[in-house]
Structure 1
Amino acid sequence: MRDRSRPEGGFDVVLVGIAARGLAASARRAGLSAFVLDLFADEDTRALAARSVRLRRRDGLALDPDDLLAALSHHAEPHTPLVLGTGFEDAPDLVARLAARFRLAGSGAETLAALKEPFSFAKRLAALGIPHPGVFAGPPPEGVAALEKRIGGSGGNHVRPSARPRGPGWYLQERLEGRSVSALFLGNGTEARLLAFSEQWCAPAEDAPFRYGGCAGPFALEHRLVAEIHAALSRLTASVDLKGLASADLIIGPGAWHLIEINPRPGASLDIFDAPPLPPLLRLHLDACIGKLPDLPLLVPGAKVATRAAGLFYAPAAMEIRDALPAWAADRPAPGTRIAAGEPVCTVHATGRDLADARALLARRMDLLSRALSMASRAVAE
């Protein structure tokens, strides 16, 4: 799939991530010609992109920095906007290297480091008056439940209940009870613009009880909470020079909220919000990176607003994809692709009248897919 000859040019945007299909879909919707680099080069990603390159995997589902830099050097022009998706949360040094050679459209390495180092992040939130959970380098105070997390981790696979972090690179965060919510927003380095709220859930595995499961939205919060969250995100945006699309993970309790973490890049909620009545989110991202924020109302449920859900389907056992997946599945591996147990197979989409309706349809489709792929699992096992 690679031609190492020379840079080709002719692209409006370069998109990079562990899985960049959502970004590629947003680029197509915005009328942009996209060069896409990710670890999968799934069938729909290739169809959406002007060109797609499959990157080498390192340590499971991590990007290989040398392979990425080599691919960009051979296929991308330095002046073309470069948008980063998932896979860079623990790699501010790599982001700095990319920014030095290409036109990075998004938050830079200093912003990433400020948001992903848990202890300095907690101090910053405290100084800004933003409610947040406690973080601990050792055992938490007596009576405080805690979760162990890897610094710079994403996707929830690294999160487990614990009373003591395992060592360097890990920390404990106070475990709070409430609804898991994600706020999609834009930053221009000075202020934030809230776009929508979604709920999130886990797809627990034996060794990963908080593995990311999916999201659904939009839904409405009371006006007071919306105003508080918007003001807090604007203060934080200005404090760390955050630019472009981002998401804030929140825990919402009765009349209260806490900020858990910030993901300073386009994320999974592209799958549910990159559709009318919102304009193409990648276009909003690029505009925000040059200082322009849209005059858009917060997306809330209504007569002309569909409720969408998107969930990750994980392989229950080793399998080989034999047939094309249904039309409501995205990130579609080509027939013949072998997938290890526990790895993501695809994203499943559903639309409904409200959150309960969309999630119920999503669950039925997950079940249909599980039964359809069980034959493939057994065939590989035999």
Structure 2
Amino acid sequence: MTSDVRTFTVREDDDGIRLDRWFKRHLPDTSFNTVSRWARTGQLRVDGKRATPGDRVETGQTIRVPPPEAPPAKPARPEKRIVPLTQDEQAFVQEMVIETAPDAFVLNKPPGLATQGGTKTNQHLDRLLDGLADREGNRPKLVHRLDKDTSGVLLVARSARSAAFFSKSFSGRTARKVYWALVIGVPSAEEGLIDLPLAKQPGTGGEKMHVDEENGLPARTRWRMVDRAGNRAAWIELQPLTGRTHQLRAHMAALGHPIVGDAKYGGADAFLTGGISRKLHLHARRLKIDSPSGVIDVTAELPIHFAESLATLGFDPMAGDHLPLDNPDPARDPEVKKQRVAAAAKQRRRERKGERRSRGSTPQPKGRRK
């Protein structure tokens, strides 16, 4: 509207400056692009004549400026639509619970269920945790995760305080975890320690890991062979001493024995014939972890496809639980060692700083001047 047009008179201290400079001084919220557009469309005038941003103004001239433009409206952020759980979904997550503790629920996650949501992943465990909320509506909190196709023990904290406690246990490597896996072929030894650093494989968008001796993060896995089916397959117990993404899958593939059903790391060679399921055969069998109210030590039953594969290969399901649970050895973890070295150096710096302060505050004995 013309009534909103603004007019300004050039003052003496603005005499001779460029028009775009005048805008910077007096209308700083008006961008150069806007001034240029006004000039091109004839809306910007000096003493009634069309003007350009490079024109110089003189004292007493009148500058005609179009009405201020409203900032472009930001697109409204779509509201996150919360879809309440159905009765079947509530029953589904409640049936996963294999132990209830004062500070946590322990679940047996089925294969095929993602732990958290993501692109095109609408159904996941984190959403289903609404079905375990208390009367006040406080829902459990994830403190660690399992891959979508990995089954087994998964702990969720019942409060923010217990979540912080458990998160520290997992990051500090004090939680002890046992996985069962069926692998292609038979390792040459009965047991071993895989110590191979892992990094995200370039070109996979972070979806796949690979061994990288130069840039990889430390990754260590202890393994033992429970039983073997000739030279065809082996039943392996795995105890991760670090917690890298896809660590067990990448380590077993690097050992030359990919986990059965793991096409991502084993390709076409990761499958067995003879009625063995093509699903991933990796199961979080046991978790032992301290909690604020005591020790939690839980074992999760195998999913149907894994149990059937053990039976088909002639394995005794009871054999795997007789192996001892190793204590983690954080002192051998390079990351933990690095943290300890840094902490010790920091303590030494504090001590030296304290010594300098104490020397500075000690009165010196007076002596005779020579």
TM-score by length of 1: 0.23
Higher strand share: 1
Structure number with bigger Rg: 2
